[in-house]
Amino acid sequence: MSSEKTSVAVDPAKLEELRALAQQGAHIELPDWVAGIHPSDIADLVASLDSEAQQLEILEALSDAVASETLAEMEEHEDRAELLSALDESRGAALLQELADDDAADLLGEMEPDDRDRMLAALPSAEAGEIRDLLRYDEETAGGLMTTALVSVAAESSAYDAIAEIRRQGREIEDFYSVFVVDHLNRLRGTVPLADLILADPDAPVESLVEPMLAVAHPDTDQEEVGRVMGRYNLVSIPVVSQEGSLLGQITFDDVIDVIEAETTEDILRLAGVSDEEELRAGWLESVRSRLPWLTLNLVTAGLAASVILSFEAVIGQWTFLAFLMPVIAALGGNTGTQALAVTIRRIAVGDGLGPNHFEAVGKEVLVGLLNGFVLGVIFSLFAFFWEGGDPRIGLVVLVAMWSNIIVAGFAGALVPTVLDRLGVDPAVASSVFVHTLTDLVGFVMVLSLASTLLA
């Protein structure tokens, strides 16, 4: 386990000093070194404080620049919108003005409508208008992710003029990685790497340095698709353009890292039967709400699958050993199904399931099931054979039931999510219930029907 930590600049003792100050309360003054702590770290500290009063102590004592970034780095479930609402409008508006417009829109989007309107009214009307525009987009689309803050230059200007223009625009935008090139109608022509501009002859027209865009997003592009394309082409940012080609905004790599993490969490939780509405740090009642419906559905499906057992009570009364065999064979089918589901859903998520034949993976899982099922069937069948005093009929029941259930599990585990995905349904939600109900059912039916026939 070589996992030496990175060296991070934050000093835990300073964070504890801040915590003590917050607890002391009543219009504290913060030491100068606070400016040197990353807002991400202050955000964690604020989120961990015991009361909203203590949280507000810190926020009120921080400069506008740091307080606003602290809110931006906090999470929705840490009630950052409530904190912002608790500030008076003029301070709240000052913080919102410090933020990139996408971050401001995210915060406002989490507020109660009344508080949101109050804050928007306190902002200069141009900025309020921009943020209102952003609030109209679904938060899981490119429009919801993008910022309108970007650096763009005219295709017809010279490298020298472009650098002067970038210098001007750059004063207002903190970090920028891409310089976009537009025509006189603000239609996107491409990008010019800042490094190329600096390296170029000052008289060279920007036109001659333009690199065409590898990919652009539209406001309604799904955020998962944005993440996929940026990851695939290693893009530090992607422009968002209207259908007419006008440059509306950009999405940068840091938003995409957040999207990839959020989408992955969603995939893992869905596969496990946890609603994607549930935050990782949700309170217990929210977790109950998110999970109970799925468990209830599972109770119904597991009950239905097991109900075949009710038709075979006579056989079980005679051969009680079957009550031991059935859950084991159903469990191994379930495990095999989970393996095939996880591999298939992950292939779909990373966009790597798409050979010339979409159903190739299904054939592979059947082959895997044929071999794994045979090996497991033989092992368990030998055990059953010897345990039941050398009865070859029991050995045969176990071998055939286990083998067939594992083949079905591999087949369904690969087929169901592939079909759901092609139908445009998120495969992680429904696949797991369906596949596990099927493997339970096949396990029980195979054991019981073979036993009725062979042991009768």
**Residue 357 is a binding residue for its own copies (CB under 8 A):** no
CB of 170 to its own copies, least distance (A): 5
- Minimum CB distance to its own copies, residue 81 (Å): 19
Which of 260, 407, 438, 451 is in the footprint of its own copies by CB under 8 A? 260
Sites for its own copies among residues 95-154 (CB under 8 A): 138, 141-142
- Listed in sequence order, the DSSP H helices in 25-141 are 39-48, 52-61, 64-73, 80-86, 89-98, 101-110, 113-122, 125-135
User: Which parts of 148-207 interact with its own copies (CB under 8 A)?
Assistant: 163, 166-167, 170-171, 175-177, 193-195, 198-199
Q: Which of 28, 154, 268, 400 binds its own copies (CB under 8 A)?
A: 268
User: Applying CB under 8 A, does 12 fall inside the site for its own copies?
Assistant: no
CB of 446 to its own copies, least distance (A): 14
User: Is 2 among the residues that bind its own copies (CB under 8 A)?
Assistant: yes
> What beta strand segments (E) does 364-450 contain?
none
246 in contact with its own copies (CB under 8 A):
no
Q: Which residues contact 36 (CB under 8 A, 6 or more apart)?
A: 9
Count residues contacting its own copies (CB under 8 A)? 131
Distance CA 33, CA 69 (A): 16
- Minimal distance, residue 222 CB to its own copies, in Å: 4
- Scanning 81-89, 115-123, 127-135, 220-228 for contacts with its own copies by CB under 8 A, the matching segment is 220-228
The DSSP line for 140-205 is: TBHHHH-BS--EEEETTSBHHHHHHHHHHHHTT-S----EEEE-TT-BEEEEE-HHHHHHS-TTSB
Residue 365 to residue 376: CA distance in whole angstroms:
16
Instruction: Quote the least distance from Cβ 405 to its own copies, whole Å.
Output: 12
Chain residues 318-347 in contact with its own copies, contact rule CB under 8 A: 320-324, 326-328, 330-332, 334-336, 338-339, 341-343, 345-347
Indicate the residue type of 84.
Answer: L
Q: Which two tokens stand for residue 124?
A: 């200069």
With respect to its own copies, which residue has the nearer C-beta, 283 or 392? 283
Contact flags string 283-312 toward its own copies, x per CB under 8 A: xx--xx--xx-xxx-xx--xx--xx-xx--
Does residue 281 bind its own copies (CB under 8 A)? yes
Q: Which of residues 66-85 bind its own copies (CB under 8 A)?
A: none
Q: Which residues, other chains included, contact 416 with Cβ-Cβ below 8 Å and sequence gap of 6+?
A: 341, 427, 430, 431, 434, 435
Site string for its own copies, 428-447 (x = CB under 8 A): --------x---x---x---
State in angstroms the smallest separation of the CB of 312 from its own copies: 8
Here the tokens at position 293 are 């419906």
Q: How far is CA 158 from the centre of its chain?
A: 42
- Beta carbons of 381 and 402 less than 8 angstroms apart: yes
Query: Please, are residues 344 and 414 in contact by the beta-carbon 8 Å criterion?
Result: yes
3-class DSSP assignment, residue 49? coil
258 binds its own copies (CB under 8 A): yes
Kindly state the tokens that stand for 38.
Answer: 């990353």
Using CA atoms, how far residue 358 sits from 347, 362, 371, in Å, is 11, 9, 23
